[in-house]
Structure 1
């Protein structure tokens, strides 16, 4: 399934449809797509019951979606139901797919996700991107995109769009990286650097991680703060099921909230930022360890083995994270905090000091802290699923391909 039933709605970036007969038809097609997607398989009658349209109207909409290759019939429903069995419907496992990509400080990743939410192709390249010019990095990413698209096409899929997660601030145009300090990129328009065959969206990796949490993890509340970390630390602020982006689209820069104003200099130009205490490299420095290929695995392994330097560094990172999060919790009053990215793998050693700091500093009752089940996969999956949801939100836009 591509999303839990409670979130069968547009992502917030979908084009608004006009209040005309044609606009109503397109909205109803989207309602059918979301209903079938959320349940896995449904009959026409069940779809009609869920979205409040007549069976005749739903049947017409379903036939159109079948002709477009977006929905397929699975055959008669399971026996034992009263009355004549209907034909079970499911979103197609062929046709449009969402292509998600991620530019990390030390990796590139691309995946293809079909309308059923299944990852059908994937490619990863490990290696540092810090300080490299955008052109060669995006050139390598483009090679991975083409590799994944070719693999997906062999399985009967075609790319409905490309969404790229980056560790930095992204302008509201959805393609310009305004500032990515850990890559040393400033004002980089990714549009000309990526294949122009695809509809492109670029967003902050923490935002895509938060959306993945909202769409893919059952029982995720509609108000939460999602914290994502690798070398940098970002946050997605989800309010009433939508991202809180801010005036310029820069909301969520948790890593550059100062926790000790007289602390060490940060790549952002400030001092004592959270990243200097809770980012992966900062924790490794505090633990007197050299960075390696699998930083989280190294820290978790040493902490499990009882290395007191590592455990102390993680406790201090949890305290710093609690200080930085306190302001967000007091301002927004979310239902939960979700730890994602690298933080998910280090949660057993971060949580005690983090929760203690939140309990001491927040005005109301302590806010629960959950650990993401998606972990570091969240941003990449969120990027790919954001494309899938544009198809669900407006199937007419892709049905004419």
Structure 2
């Protein structure tokens, strides 16, 4: 249990630093308890749970309320004597996160408030493979501007932007490789920043962060269900296939931050060529484009629907070609998943992105392959289920990661607010 001490009065520079540090810890501790509480806790509840005095808790809560991070809720009815205490909840009209996503066949923008509620969500369908990175990001900037304007109308203040991309992201947000988009060594922040609303950095965090979309989808799934598993494999099935690995409640990134490229696990070493330069990758058997081809469809057959929606409709109608395509895709996916489960000993697999609507047909086949290939399946069954957030997981996870940083380090947001007020002469 993380324990914090109260701030004591000191006058030396070392003491001042310690005082500032303890204040930051107290802010994070109290806000974290409010965020995780099943019901709105009172100041007295927080004092009892944290071990801080009521005076310290009251001062911390006043700071959080003044910074628009926390608000007071109406007290619950009380039958006993005495005045009911007012509970505390995360503010719905304070800071919010802007999430953006660029994928092979769509762009998306999302705003999530501090309490995790989606306040804006827009998706624009387009085949972005012919577009240059600059053109694609300019279009995304238009969605970002509309999202920022809508957030402002709702009284929210955007505290940062996180962009999800289907590829390998290096230092400084440079996309090293996004094979399905044809991007290589693209300085995404430089191209996108000129189209974004001007947002100040919070607690030293850049106003724009670029992250792999599958990782963000896994984080979105982690936040979506309070009673969900602490460790799981989240697979985003689009034209490309990516995975986010969550271990004990934390995203596993690997030594260089490039973990989760499940779409490039080889299913057949001498199989068809992949855009990554390899052969027989999972994407060539279970990516949306591969499933469409096996079902006898092309992108031209999807003027209004997404690929997953069209495939789900045909499968539900009993179309034998589509059912066969989904069975083969599920088999290939199950082979890859079984390898990951054997390696990492995970007990839950979540099918997200375009796989979520196709779960009724993919899940049984994936489970069958797991039961055949995972050594421990007979004693410890593996759960396979659709994602709670479905195709929206990545962009919601992107926006949510902004507010997650604020909850973890509220002092950064409060400092930026004070700097803003001083700059405005308040």
Partner of 1:61: 60
Determine if the alignment matches structure 1 residue 330 to structure 2 residue 330: no
Shift in alpha-carbon separation, 1:184–1:19, aligned structure 2, 3 A: farther
- Contact 2:97-2:401 at 8 Å conserved across structures: yes
Q: How high is the TM-score relative to the length of structure 2?
A: 0.86
Pairwise CA RMSD: 1.8
**Corresponding position of 1:127:** 126
Partner of 1:208: 216
What residue number does 2:405 align with?
390
Report how far residue 87 of structure 1 moved: 1.7
Question: 1:235 matched to which residue of 2?
Answer: 243
Q: Is residue 30–residue 395 contact of structure 1 (8 Å, CA) maintained in 2?
A: yes
Q: Which runs of 5+ in 2 are unaligned?
A: 2-15, 200-206, 418-426
What is the CA-CA distance between 1:122 and the residue it aligns to?
A: 2.7
What SS class does the counterpart of residue 363 from structure 1 fall into?
Answer: coil
Cα 1:81/1:117, change in 2 over 3 Å: farther
Q: Check the 8 A contact 2:341/2:347 in 1, yes or no.
A: no
Mapped partners of 2:347, 2:112: distance in 1: 29
The number of equivalent residue pairs is 384
Q: 2:185 matched to which residue of 1? A: 187
| Alpha carbons 2:359, 2:385 under 8 Å: kept | no
Cα 1:149–1:343 shift into 2, 3 Å: same
Cα distance in 2 between the residues matched to 1:113 and 1:131: 31
Match of 1:30 among 28, 31, 55: 28
Structure 1 residue ranges, 4+ long, deviating more than 6 angstroms after superposition: none
TM-score by length of 1: 0.92
Larger deviation, residues 56-65 vs 72-81: 72-81
- The aligned residue for residue 275 of structure 1 is 283
Q: 2:84 maps to what in 1?
A: 85
C-alpha deviation, 1:81, in angstroms: 5.2
Report the Cα distance in structure 2 between the residues aligned to 1:301 and 1:373, rounded to whole angstroms.
20
Aligned to 2:421: none
Task: Tell which structure's C-alpha radius of gyration is larger.
Answer: 2
How far residue 49 of structure 1 moved from its aligned partner, in angstroms, is: 2.8
5+ residue gaps, structure 1: 1-5, 7-17
In structure 2, the residue matched to 1:10 is none
Cα 1:82/1:328, change in 2 over 3 Å: farther
Contact 1:174/1:203 (CA < 8 Å) preserved in 2? no
2:193 partner SS: coil
User: Does the CA-based 8 Å contact 1:123-1:147 persist in structure 2?
Assistant: no
User: Are the aligned partners of 1:43 and 1:77 in contact in 2 as well (CA < 8 Å)?
Assistant: no
